Structure 1
Amino acid sequence: MASTSFQISALLLAVSGFIILLVATVSNSWKSSSSANSIITASWIYEGLWMNCAATTLGSVQCKKFYSFLSLDTYIQACRALMVTSLVLGLLGTLVTVFGLKCTQLGTTNNYTKAKIATVGGMVFILSGLSSMVAISWYASQITAQFFDSFYAGTKYELGHALYIGWAGSLLSMLGGILLICSCKGSKREKQRNYNYDSATTQRANEPFIYKKASETVTSAKDYV
């Protein structure tokens, strides 16, 4: 029962990371910049993987999609691909892990086979977290490099809150995958103990049974005299 609850907790952590990564992927706040001459004329620029937005203090927000894929920087295209890959892996890991939980009746009912399936699901979650971690860290490094480059003539941005959300989602996804793998070790040890026990029982059953006749005490007639 403890192993089952441990598996469910690990799956909830991984799924939470997957949902957070989905929010970070569609967010438009991967980087932000402020151009303010005064509080009244202040405006903020936000940019994500799919569009950029401009907001003013009056509450008006205007967003524009990136219609040209080839005109984007290489690192943005790569981050898009990595984040989409991360989401696909997260969805796949969720489906695989559901089949590997002890409390589910889907597929096989063998605990050892379910443990192997859950282990695969945990590895998929770890790959999902690593993929998004690479994308977010790469994007953040580009922002930092441009911000501190004195020769960079374009708009200098700062790290947006979507990056911090993405980092948190990546860590949760990897943590959930690691806990899933750890929860399956008990089932594998139990399988090994049962195998050793069955082997020993079979070996004893195959051994020939030797009947030993109890020795009889012979009393001569002289002993009665």
Structure 2
Amino acid sequence: MVFLTTKMMQRTALFVTIGGLVTSLITAFIPLWKTMNSDLNEVENYYSGLWHMCVFTEEVGVQCKAYESTLALPGDLQASRALMAVSIATGALAVAMVFPAMEGVEVCRGRPGPRRALLLGGGVLCWVSGLTTLAPVSIVAYTTVVEFWDRNLPDVVPRWEFGEAMFSGWFGGLALVLGGTLFFVGVCMADFDRRSAGPPNGPQVTQRAKHYLKTEVL
């Protein structure tokens, strides 16, 4: 296929990685990880995120307030904060690492060794970034489900449910993992292209040429 080239594979991987990184960044800061609507007061909707708690009313609109104490937060939110910070940092580092090694960029032109190492390192960082995005979203989803079906709570007590950020977090994490995988595929394609472009059986050809030359002299 004409379009299935190393250059196009690298660009696709970079595009998918940047999309996953932006999605993870948005997921980390929007207060839509969990939602709650009380049956006793249907005009109020509550939203919870990693950094803020918001309430929506028809009269006032949306009002958000940051959590007063980090140590008072549940363990899943504290772990989610740390993991999302690691995800954003490693994702940004992956983009900065692979960009100089892209086909068409003059930084590593004619240096296949450093280019290959940068692409592999960027792919590994993409995987780390994707997994550290999927982990906190899955942890919060698990605790939400456990609390929702907790029989020790009375039925009149409102329960938290999944917010939109949960689904965007899963999408961003999978996109980062896919981007890292595509970088690995691009490295394999580049290795195959270099082997195909080189002379076949170079050492054997050299030895045969020396043997023929010696025979002709004799």
TM-score range, shorter chain: 0.7 to 0.9
Q: 1:14 aligns with which of 14, 17, 34?
A: 17
Q: 1:176 aligns with which of 154, 162, 179?
A: 179
Structure 2 distance, partners of 1:146, 1:38, is 21
Q: Is the contact made by 1:112 and 1:187 (CA closer than 8 Å) also made in structure 2?
A: no
Structure 1 distance, partners of 2:15, 2:90, is 16
Q: Is the contact made by 1:17 and 1:170 (CA closer than 8 Å) also made in structure 2?
A: yes
* Aligned twin of 1:217: none
Structure 1 distance, partners of 2:133, 2:193, is 35
- Report Cα offsets for 1:54-89 as digits up to 9, x if no partner: 111235221110131111111110010001100001
Task: Please show how residues 34-49 of structure 1 align to structure 2 within 5 Å.
Answer: 34-37=37-40, 42-49=43-50
Q: Does 1:189 align with 2:208?
A: no
- Report Cα offsets for 1:138-157 as digits up to 9, x if no partner: 01100110010021467520
Q: Is the contact made by 1:43 and 1:55 (CA closer than 8 Å) also made in structure 2?
A: yes
Shift of 1:183: 1.1
Structure 2 distance, partners of 1:124, 1:167, is 17
Shift of 1:170: 0.6
* Aligned twin of 1:218: none
Task: Please show how residues 183-222 of structure 1 align to structure 2 within 5 Å.
Answer: 183-192=186-195, 194=198, 197-207=201-211, 208-211=213-216
Structure 1 distance, partners of 2:207, 2:192, is 21
Q: Is the contact made by 1:99 and 1:118 (CA closer than 8 Å) also made in structure 2?
A: no
Gaps of 5+ in 2: none
Closer, same or farther in 2 for the Cα pair 1:200/1:117, shift >3 Å? farther
* Aligned twin of 2:35: 32
**TM, length-normalised to structure 1:** 0.85
Secondary structure of the structure 2 residue equivalent to 1:55: strand
Question: Which structure has the larger Rg over C-alpha atoms?
Answer: 1
**TM, length-normalised to structure 2:** 0.88
* Aligned twin of 2:120: 119
Shift of 1:122: 1.1
Shift of 1:185: 0.5
Aligned pair count reads: 211
* Aligned twin of 2:72: 71
Structure 1 distance, partners of 2:39, 2:153, is 20
Closer, same or farther in 2 for the Cα pair 1:54/1:81, shift >3 Å? same
Structure 1 distance, partners of 2:60, 2:115, is 53
Structure 1 distance, partners of 2:15, 2:55, is 36
Percent same amino acid at aligned positions? 26
Q: Does 1:160 align with 2:160?
A: no
Shift of 1:205: 4.6
Shift of 1:197: 3.8
Q: CA RMSD in A?
A: 2.2
Letter in 2 for 1:120: G
